[in-house]
A and B are shown apart, each in its own frame.
Chain A
Amino acid sequence: EVQLVESGGGLVQPGGSLRLSCAASGFTFSNYNMNWVRQAPGKGLEWVSYIPSSSGTIYYADSVKGRFTISRDNAKNSLYLQMTSLGAEDTAVYYCASSLYCSGGSCYSPWGQGTLVTVSS
């Protein structure tokens, strides 16, 4: 069974840091590009960051550029998001998403269940 399972969310103070993880299973993780997408409470979806399957260009949304770092460990079938200088505007559910079911395209499927990050004092 294909699964993406996020972890690492929680309550963090403004200005703090947090590292999210996404554990992949059931497919050849190293073959697929990965993304982080977030959703603030009651709001829509916002793409955050992209990392290719191996080498290549990494992309970030302007809202997180310089503060967030995406990485992956293909040997551990894991995706990461290092978040620093967090502010209230970063409060959201963070989803990891693959392009496994997109027939070579860059849509997002499957998605993990998400992990909630709350930035508050």
Chain B
Amino acid sequence: EIVMTQSPATLSVSPGERATLSCRASQSVGNNFAWYQQKPGQPPRLLIYGASTRATGIPARFSGSGSGTEFTLTISSLQSEDFAVYYCQQYNNWPRTFGQGTKVEIK
């Protein structure tokens, strides 16, 4: 099973600042990688797939990069609606696996 490790667990950021979230896979997943955002009481929402492709309707301030085992989600200028939990996921191997999540909170 591929283990996805996210860092940090919690990220405290002021509105308007840049946020950088990381995810590491225990073995290569190529570009078969996604980021999701989840707010309390809501299902996850797809942000990025294919490691760097923004999903439909996702603002340009969200960008994804990386391939293989190291991936990054960057939020260029945090808005109030971006404070949430972010999960990474690999869909290269079975079983599909998620990271444990990074909570982005208001500083």
Band of interface residues on B: 20 to 34
Q: List residues of chain A with CB within 8 A of the CB of B94.
A: 50, 59
Bound complex: CA of A110 vs CA of B56, how far in Å?
A: 11
The residue that A102 contacts in the complex, of B49, B95, B97, B100, with Cβ under 8 A, is B49
* Min C-beta distance of A55 to chain B, whole Å: 17
Q: Does A85 contact B (CB under 8 A)?
A: no
Q: List residues of chain B with CB within 8 A of the CB of A103.
A: 49-50, 53
Stretch at the interface among A10-18, A39-47, A74-82: A39-47
Count contacts between A and B, CB distance < 8 Å.
65
Q: Does B44 contact A (CB under 8 A)?
A: yes
Contact mask A43-70 → B, CB, 8 Å, 1/0? 0111100100000000101100000000
- Please name the residue on chain B nearest to A65 by beta carbon: B95
Q: A45-B98, A105-B91 are in contact. List 15 more A-B contacts (CB 8 A).
A: A44-B98, A44-B100, A45-B44, A45-B89, A47-B89, A47-B98, A61-B95, A102-B46, A103-B50, A107-B50, A108-B89, A109-B46, A109-B55, A110-B46, A111-B45
Give the B-binding residues of A (Cβ under 8 A): 35, 44-47, 50, 59, 61-62, 95, 101-103, 105-114
Can you spell out 16 A-B residue pairs with CB atoms less than 8 angstroms apart?
A44-B100, A44-B101, A45-B38, A45-B44, A45-B98, A50-B96, A95-B44, A101-B55, A102-B46, A103-B49, A106-B32, A106-B96, A107-B89, A108-B46, A112-B43, A113-B42
